[in-house]
């Protein structure tokens, strides 16, 4: 039996097309579809095929180890978001193998340090790269001074002029939230903090690329993540001398949630007297309840949670309450039956979950589907239905 994702293909694909067309009207270019990790629950190979169907010219993946799953179904350029690091030996080996197996001219590396840039300059073969700026994320990237110093370096300029290293633009990865997101100047609301940050880097990049000439000059392009539609429009108006490429993942693939439904299949049904011990840990059950076994476990992402940001009092209260229940050995599952979220009998197994249904509840039959509210970015499904 299976843990499945069912897709309303017509509505989902209509959403993809509408979103891509809206982005093209704003920026003049297709979305750069992000299909990293689990492929947002769909799987990377499937999303690569959908990106090709949508007519995208570029997609972005997380690491070099994901290249094979994407290049088999997509025929445009593939950006690897994790910065190239010459001291990461397993990744360096994977880069070499990718170059042997695939058309290396379709693969774009992200470069976020002086050392990585110099390693590529000294290495064999031409490469295409994005230079990543260190934004307020403070994760990877060149500082302003390091970026300017690198672009002024004669060795770097020589590598670019010869075409050995081709710079496709400046990459900006923005935070999802920022403090003091809106500020007021003389009583008039300004753009968001993300827009202001992009605008500052845009000015620097425009000034740098404007002084280059020749066929191998760095591209006057900004590659941006985590800007909403209004922010993209603001950036496009402000940085009108630069091309804007918007990398979008969650809003693209998961932006039409009613078209997506996850479900586990009922594998077994056991009416049990109160106090019956069940599962690996032999926990006693509630009075006159029915134990059901449903497909979907930790291998599918069931029961796996990330630390909460706890940014509000309500989030903190929910986190505290969940912790108290966990300490008492009780946890709500993501599975819903008869209109209610149901309790785990014990922590989910690798491929299955055991749930309690109370007395008086409608009891499912083996083979019935039990809907689940899941976090798609951490989910893996046995099958994706509806996209044939």
What digits encode the pLDDT tens for the residues 180-195? 554 444 444 468 999 9
Which residues, 6+ apart, have CB-to-CB distance to 64 below 8 Å?
80, 82, 91, 94, 95, 98
| Strand 260-272 versus strand 369-372 pairing type | antiparallel
pLDDT tens per residue across span 353-387: 999 999 999 999 999 999 999 999 999 999 999 99
Which 3 state secondary structure label does DSSP give 337?
A: strand
- Cα distance between residue 302 and residue 130, in whole Å: 36
Is the distance from CB of 168 to CB of 106 less than 8 angstroms? Answer: no
Is the distance from CB of 340 to CB of 1 less than 8 angstroms? Answer: no
Give the chain's mean pLDDT.
90
pTM for this predicted structure: 0.90
pLDDT tens per residue across span 111-168: 999 999 999 999 998 999 999 999 999 999 999 999 999 999 999 999 999 999 999 9
> Quick one: pLDDT at residue 251?
96
Q: Is the model's pLDDT at 307 over the cut of 90?
A: no
pLDDT tens per residue across span 77-88: 999 999 999 999
pLDDT tens per residue across span 28-76: 999 999 999 999 999 999 999 999 999 999 999 999 999 998 998 899 9
Q: How confident is the model at residue 310 (pLDDT cuts 50, 70, 90)?
A: low
User: Which of 163, 379, 132, 160 minimizes the C-alpha distance to 264?
Assistant: 379
> Quick one: pLDDT at residue 306?
61
Residues in the chain: 388
DSSP 336: E
Which residues, 6+ apart, have CB-to-CB distance to 383 below 8 Å?
2, 4, 5
> Quick one: pLDDT at residue 88?
97
Q: Is the model's pLDDT at 323 over the cut of 60?
A: no
Domains and CATH numbers, the chain: 31-253 (3.20.20.10), 260-385 (2.40.37.10)
Q: How confident is the model at residue 316 (pLDDT cuts 50, 70, 90)?
A: very low
Helix 229-238 to helix 9-27 angle (10° resolution) is 20
Is the distance from CB of 355 to CB of 265 less than 8 angstroms? Answer: no
Q: How confident is the model at residue 312 (pLDDT cuts 50, 70, 90)?
A: low
Which 3 state secondary structure label does DSSP give 239?
A: coil
If one counts every other C-beta atom within 10 angstroms of the C-beta of residue 325, the result is 12
> Quick one: pLDDT at residue 304?
82
- Cα distance between residue 356 and residue 286, in whole Å: 8
Q: Tell me the percentage of the chain whose pLDDT exceeds 70.
A: 90
Is the distance from CB of 370 to CB of 336 less than 8 angstroms? Answer: yes
> Quick one: pLDDT at residue 285?
87
The alpha carbon of 132 is separated from its chain's Cα centroid by a whole number of angstroms, namely 18
| 143-148 LR contacts (CB < 8 Å, sep 24+) | 144/204, 146/114, 147/204, 147/208, 148/204, 148/208
């Amino acid at each position: 039996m299976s843990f499945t994702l069912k897709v309303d293909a017509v509505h989902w694909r209509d959403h993809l097309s509408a979103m891509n067309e809206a982005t093209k009207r704003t920026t003049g270019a297709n979305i750069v579809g992000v299909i990293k990790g689990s492929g947002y629950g769909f799987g990377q190979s499937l999303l690569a095929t959908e990106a090709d169907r949508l007519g995208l010219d570029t997609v972005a993946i997380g690491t070099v180890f994901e290249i094979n799953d994407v290049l088999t179904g997509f025929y445009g350029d593939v950006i690897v978001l994790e910065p190239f690091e010459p001291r990461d030996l397993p990744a360096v080996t994977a880069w070499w193998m990718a170059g042997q197996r695939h058309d290396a001219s379709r693969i774009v590396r992200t470069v976020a340090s002086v050392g990585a840039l110099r390693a590529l300059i000294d290495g064999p073969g031409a490469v295409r790269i994005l230079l990543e700026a260190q934004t307020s994320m403070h994760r990877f990237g060149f500082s302003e001074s390091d970026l300017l110093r690198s672009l002024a370096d004669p060795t770097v300029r020589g590598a670019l002029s010869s075409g050995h290293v081709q710079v496709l633009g400046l990459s900006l990865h923005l935070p999802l939230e920022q403090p003091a997101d809106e500020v007021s100047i003389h009583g008039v609301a300004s753009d968001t903090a993300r827009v202001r940050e992009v605008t500052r880097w845009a000015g620097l990049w425009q000034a740098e690329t404007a002084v280059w000439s020749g066929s191998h000059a760095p591209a006057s392009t900004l590659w941006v993540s985590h800007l909403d539609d209004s922010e993209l429009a603001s950036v496009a108006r402000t940085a009108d001398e630069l091309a804007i490429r918007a990398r979008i993942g969650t809003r693209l693939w998961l932006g039409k949630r009613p078209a997506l439904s996850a479900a586990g299949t009922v594998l077994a049904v056991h009416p049990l007297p109160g106090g019956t011990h069940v599962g690996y840990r032999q926990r006693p059950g509630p009075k006159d309840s029915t134990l059901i076994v449903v497909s979907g476990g930790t291998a599918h992402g069931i029961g796996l949670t990330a630390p909460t940001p706890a940014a509000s009092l309500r989030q903190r209260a929910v986190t505290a309450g969940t912790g108290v229940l966990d300490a008492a050995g009780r946890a709500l599952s993501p599975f819903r039956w008869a209109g209610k979220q149901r309790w785990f009998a014990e922590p989910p197994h690798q491929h299955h979950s055991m749930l309690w249904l109370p007395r008086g509840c409608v009891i499912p039959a083996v083979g019935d589907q039990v809907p689940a509210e899941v976090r798609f970015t951490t989910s893996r499904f046995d099958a994706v239905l509806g996209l044939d």
